[in-house]
A and B are shown apart, each in its own frame.
Chain A
Amino acid sequence: MKTFLPFRHPLVLVSLLVVTTVLGIALVGPVIAPHDPLAINQNAVNQASSTQYLLGTDEFGRDILSRLLVGIRPTIMVAVISTLIAAVGGTAFGIIGAYSRPVMAFFVMRAVDIMLSFPAILLALLAVGFWRSGIASLSVVIGIIFIPQFARVAQSATLQVIRQEFVEAEHAMGARYLRVVFKAILPNILSPLVVQGTLTIAAAILLESGLSFLGLGIVPPEPSWGQMIGTARGYLNQNPMYVVWPSVCLAFTVLAINILGDALRDHLDPRLREN
């Protein structure tokens, strides 16, 4: 009997803690925030840490800690929803690209290639520029942008699976297309997709933060980490710690998710699995 994965690697354990904390805060952040994240205090602008404001205040005298606690929710929501969209869409495209008539597969995979050839941030900028920015539109845009990565992973995994005997057996029994896909293919390509999912969540968080940083993401005055970094950049002289807090939070969250994703990949890949 092997011990549970995180307890063999302290780094993975720490990452798991960080991710759980972040998810927890995304759930209860507004409740535990010490101040109203939107409350302007004109007499406490750009203050350093104090007992009243643990992490100081921003250019409106709003509490930075409260804004950090509340600002994670839109980011996590966008990341999770967009990853779901990308996973469903990308897996569908990938399976079609590997397991359907060659003409169909050709067109689907070339379409995926064309999308892959554009830098993600550029596509996102274009799309967000046309629509009103907000959680819904950001989720859809970022979700669509990450479809090709999923499609590639799903396609290569499906190609390996469809030559195996159990798929042949389904065919021999006269199973219809959808039954083959859901009963034989999907359960057997799930593990690379789960790993791709964790990587996509981290990338989506970064992309959303990047867009908010550029002023195209979450609409102010609602806080988000990327937007806080973007604003704080202008106040380096007055309040240097203002830029540090959201940057540190963002960096550790993304790092933790990536470490978890790596650990998960190692765990699920039989060739890399340790005895």
Chain B
Amino acid sequence: MKRILQMALAAGLLGLMTTTALAGGTLYFGLSAEPSTLDTIIQPGTAGRTVKLAMHRGLVNYGIDGKISPELAESYEISPDAKEYTFHLRDAKFHDGSPVTAADVKASLERILDPKGKGAFRNELSIISGIDTPDVKTVTLKLSQPSVSLMGYLALPESVIVPAAWLAKNADNATASPIGAGPFQFVNWTRGREIVVKKFPGYYKQGKPDLDEVHYVFYGDENTRVNALKSGDVDIIEYVPAKDATALEKGPDTKLLTMNGPFMGLQFNTKFEPFSKPEVRQAIAYAVDRSVIINTAFNGLGTPIYGIAIPEGYMGYSAEKANYFSHDIDKAKELLKKAGYPNGFEARLLASSQYSFHQNTAIAIQSELAKIGIKLTLDLPDWASRMAKANAGDYDFAVLGSLGEITDADWLSNYYYGGDKLVRTNNSPYFDDPQINEILDKGRATVDSAEREKIYGAFVDRALELSPLVFFMWRHQDYAVRTGVTGFTNMPGFLTFQSGFSIENTKIE
């Protein structure tokens, strides 16, 4: 009897040991680029965000279901006039063991709001006029005007909370080891190769994360990235090129996580004379055959857009306005003539050779616009130079491949609002229409959703009339994983760029 008991115990112990050995493990994540920085308040692109979301959490974040998920804040209340937001913090710890307090939240948000700072979403968050900390676990945000969209901006990877003490010491030190309250803690960054993070045992979600270590490996070349997944060098890759999607979907060792999220379009430098005229921008919207872009640059995968890139189901979408434009070369020529360019003109189109779909979209647009007499020179630098040029407004027009940062209708402000910063990554440089500004201000401040719906209807009318941005198609944003990797989620719609959040649920066999 005693013998049997011993054996059972031994077997049980053995079983326990093997399960512990099986759980966890190391995951290799193939990124499409090396992040330029890990500074939390800068928008570094999807690759950088993926790493940030492993190490950091905000008061709230977008969860895998696409809804706002309370993270460092356990709960929150919004006053009925949408002018006061109160957050109650949970008992969470930073990677250095210190507790997350109201002072840390205040310091982190103040750094974003600093007018001299580099906060990517300072414009959007600057309606915060006061940050009160009645006690260690409570933060109250007072707004200068009502805003329904604030929660969305607080959920972005650029609004995460870092320790006040760390900020005091390291805010200006770009090479300091980052500290956050996320599921993984920073280990090291081998420049040109990888960023390694390891499990943070003090994470506030019980039993998460499952992985012991994640290596974010940089693969700037998309073919190398796909081959690394096929050969098993990495377990997940982002930015699956359209031409490889079908093969990776078939497997048998790989699985495709696909999402219709980002749009492809054009942003126009309205200081470049022909593009200052709405007729010219509309002419381009009429001239480009969407299916040429989809069939050549995206291997036939994608959905055309003939209006404004508001997804069905999002506020402002209208089936009636969805087909405002059509493929009509005669109409395009007529508009060009009306604008005073009957024989077309010459222009530079900025794209990037680092992502083949950007380059190929540019080539397709070049051939389409040649048909109405617009001769294009392509400017195809690497991605970092392309971003630098976009941020400096150094182009005539540029291929835009992006999406709304938040799911609230106020995402449109980033693209259409004028304001005091007229050259941004995603807007049409120097475009500033008082009427559009007014509509967007009103939309942000209106709590009643039927009323809001009307306001954004008016926005769509005006935006189509002026067409400062022209949209062509929805593209797929795909991740591919090796079989055996579970729990990684390609987050819905606009949130696909924040899918890095789901690394806390990811398991590997």
Contacts and interface: CB of A to CB of B under 8 A. Distances in A.
B380 A215 contact: yes
A60 interface: yes
Contact of B353 (A60, A215, A235, A238): A215
B140 to A, nearest CB: 51
**Chain A binding surface SS class:** loop
Given A42-B291, A42-B296, A233 B360 contact: no
Given A40-B363, A42-B296, 15 more contacts: A38-B367, A39-B367, A40-B292, A42-B295, A45-B295, A45-B300, A59-B299, A60-B296, A215-B353, A220-B353, A221-B366, A221-B378, A234-B222, A234-B241, A235-B243
B359 interface: yes
Contacts of B292: 40, 42
A27 interface: no
B378 A220 contact: yes
Nearest to B354: A215
Contact of B363 (A45, A215, A220): A220
Interface of A: 38-40, 42-43, 45, 59-61, 215, 219-221, 231, 233-235, 237-238
Contact of B243 (A39, A215, A234): A234
Interface of B: 222-223, 241, 243-244, 247, 289, 291-292, 295-296, 299-300, 353, 356, 359-360, 363-364, 366-367, 378, 380
B372 to A, nearest CB: 15
Nearest to B378: A219
Contacts of A43: 295
A138 to B, nearest CB: 15
A60 B244 contact: no
Nearest to A220: B363
Nearest to A222: B378
A231 B359 CA distance: 11
7 contacts: A39-B367, A40-B364, A42-B292, A59-B296, A59-B299, A60-B296, A220-B378
Contacts of B359: 220
B216 to A, nearest CB: 23
B380 A220 contact: yes
Nearest to B363: A221
B364 A60 contact: yes
A59 B360 contact: yes
A219 B380 contact: yes
B296 A40 contact: yes
Contacts of A221: 363, 366-367, 378
A250 B431 CA distance: 48
A219 B366 CA distance: 13
Contacts of B300: 45
Contacts of B380: 215, 219-220
Please list the 4 inter-chain residue pairs (A to B) with the smallest Cβ-Cβ separation, ordered nearest first: A42-B295, A215-B353, A60-B296, A40-B367
Which of B222, B296, B300: most chain A CB closer than 10 A?
A: B296
A233 B367 contact: no
Contacts of A233: 223
Contacts of B378: 219-221
Contacts of A237: 243-244, 247
Contacts of A238: 243
A38 B360 CA distance: 13
Contacts of B296: 40, 42, 45, 59-61
A215 B364 CA distance: 18
Contacts of B360: 59-60
A262 B292 CA distance: 49
Nearest to B294: A42
A240 to B, nearest CB: 13
